[in-house]
Chain A
Amino acid sequence: MAGKIQSLTEEERNHLLPLLRNAQWVEVVGRDAIYKEFIFKDFNQAFGFMSRVALQAEKMDHHPEWFNVYNKVQITLSTHDCGGLSQRDITLATFIDQASLM
């Protein structure tokens, strides 16, 4: 891991969070994190999605907190190292959205 990951600056938040909110990401109450729920046709789709995300997460070395029941996947993104949102969360969120559309 390269040096300590930086939390998002005020400016970046102001710029990026609206976009995420548009994409149905919501800010978690009580912590600096974003959350989204995905619903798929069936388990296979859901797990396929999760696999794609997992592979990407590994690549980025940044992992989501998530829960899965059958066709539903709930994801919370936050960066442990800085105790809040970082650029990685934004990048992963973007990827997750793309993956959910495949």
Chain B
Amino acid sequence: RSGGERAGAAKVKPSRLTALQEQLIWALLESGLSRDILVQAIGELERDRVSAGAERGERGDGESSEEGEMDFPPPIFRELEKLLPEEAAKLRAEVDQLLQEDPWHVAKIVKSYMQQHNLPQREVVESTGLNQSHLSQHLNKGTPMKNTKRASLYTWYVKKQGEISQQFTNAKHGLGSAEEQGEETRKGRRNRFKWGPASLQILFHAYERQKNPSKEEREGLVEDCNRAECHQRGVSSSQLAGLGSNLVTEVRVYNWFANRRKEEAFRHKLALDTPYTSQSASSSHPNLPPSPEHGVKYSHQIMCDTVSSARGSIGDRVGHLVVSPIQLEPSHTLLETHNSKLVSSGGPLPPVSTLTSLHSLSASPASSQGLIMASLPSVMSLGESSLLIGLASTQPQTVPVINNVGGSFTTLQPISFQQQLHGSPQQPISHHFQSYMGASPFMATMAQLPCHMYNKLDSPQYHTSSLLSQAMVITDSSSLGTLTSLTAVKQILTADPEEQTDSPLQEDSLHLQPHTPVPASESLEMYPTSQTTESHQSHLLSPSQTDISSYIPTQMVSTAQ
């Protein structure tokens, strides 16, 4: 009975207070402390105590919520103890409820919440001790997770909801305590800023209008983006504190534009490196000599040669074939339409975040004229939502891309496109670029394709030696029926294009009957376009496939001519 228990102990009494605790509480209350101030003060004091403890080197067992160590009980539960018993009990009750539900259902809820607030998985991993890969798989694919681990996840989730809603409410009263609730006191550093899809849409639209906005314009964009992000999170605009580390600032907008400009310059530069030959006389596009590999350094050892040929352009739509050994950075998507005034103004450095920039299919300037270059392996890997149509071969083979745009028979290099050509911008997962991309006529054409090849491109996939020479076929729906041979492109190209329906096919080429809208191929698989964008997964092929034939686009189209 002597001395031991004092108010402010880290231990939480589940039910009654001891007599002394009661005494002390009463003493505090009688001393003029109001209940609310007392409650608040307890929270603050406990936080201070914890961080003070950490500084004294108690890190091993102290701030375990930051440690990412999985000890029993999971670190996140220690945070519970810091809360008031009343609130801790409420939290536990909510967590228990979630544990009763279907895990996959809850996973979807948690995942969409994270997307809505642009929360990095890293934060979850650090405060729950869960394995990141496991967490990702559980949230994205429903990979099973044991109940104890789910409990830590849900605990983090419930807590985070509280934190964020508090951040938003505090925003109303000015920042004040929001600071403490942020990650500052926990980690000493905030989460890394991440652009949300809504903001990116706004930025890309602005970029289209003007690549170099003035400070006023940037500030306008800051407001627009923050407003959009608040809406996405279901809060009224200007409760900015709730955005936390994902608050858009003028500096961030400035950097974004700078990076996009650099990216574009880099694309120009790479485009120049790409050898290009064209048989088309009608094209105003200059012929670039095929060139050996340039000294551009890529992390892939993937080369593709493309056979270039072009039909005479009919009408105003001409595509060109490009032949070149190309090695491109895997994370950089090169897809550009160059006019004859191709200018390389690229700086020496590659763009900062090629991963995030969905290159512009800037085919808008020219109605599909010009050089369309694409890097095979380098489809933009935009996390899970990248739509890649790419082919790669490990040998320097001809990898023709047969493009039947506008009825003319052309071959293009493999192209990577962003996904969701049809998707609605409102989808949380939807690619920010999609509306941006939709501007180009070429893309518009693409958008009509009933069938796409989707590939979640990770570089390793392209190393597979099972890649054969393939052709990507891109057509528009108006010219269905073309029979094209993938591997026999060379033959086709050299032959009169009009004979292509009869051109001999090699075994692994796609064999189509004329006028058959849907090819039946032994070597190809059809992947019906998944129009839904509820989950990025529906767009993606299994990334683990190494059989390249599954990556072969399936749409074969006859030349209209």
Contacts and interface: CB of A to CB of B under 8 A. Distances in A.
Contacts of B27: 48, 51-52, 55
B20 interface: yes
Contact of A44 (B20, B30, B31, B32): B20
Contacts of A52: 26-27, 30-31
Contacts of B349: none
A71 to B, nearest CB: 11
Interface in B27-67: 27-28, 30-32
Contact of B23 (A45, A55, A56, A59): A45
B1 A102 contact: no
B8 to A, nearest CB: 12
B18 interface: yes
Contact of B30 (A42, A43, A102): A102
B133 interface: no
Interface size class of B (residues with CB under 8 A): 10 to 19
A38 interface: no
A80 B467 CA distance: 93
A55 B19 contact: no
Contacts of A102: 26, 30
Contacts of A43: 1-2, 20
Contacts of B32: 59
Number of contact residues on A: which range applies? 10 to 19
A56 B32 CA distance: 10
Contacts of B30: 52, 55, 102
Interface string A25-58: 0000000000000000011110111011001100
B17 to A, nearest CB: 11
Interface string B5-29: 0000000000000111011101110
Interface in A1-37: none
Nearest to A41: B19
Report, nearest first, the 10 A-B pairs whose CB atoms are least far apart. Answer: A48-B23, A55-B31, A51-B27, A44-B19, A44-B20, A52-B27, A51-B24, A44-B23, A48-B27, A47-B20
Interface of A: 42-45, 47-49, 51-52, 55-56, 59, 102
25 contacts: A42-B19, A43-B2, A43-B20, A44-B18, A44-B19, A44-B20, A44-B23, A47-B20, A48-B20, A48-B22, A48-B27, A49-B23, A51-B23, A51-B24, A51-B27, A51-B28, A52-B27, A52-B30, A52-B31, A55-B27, A55-B28, A55-B30, A56-B31, A59-B31, A102-B30
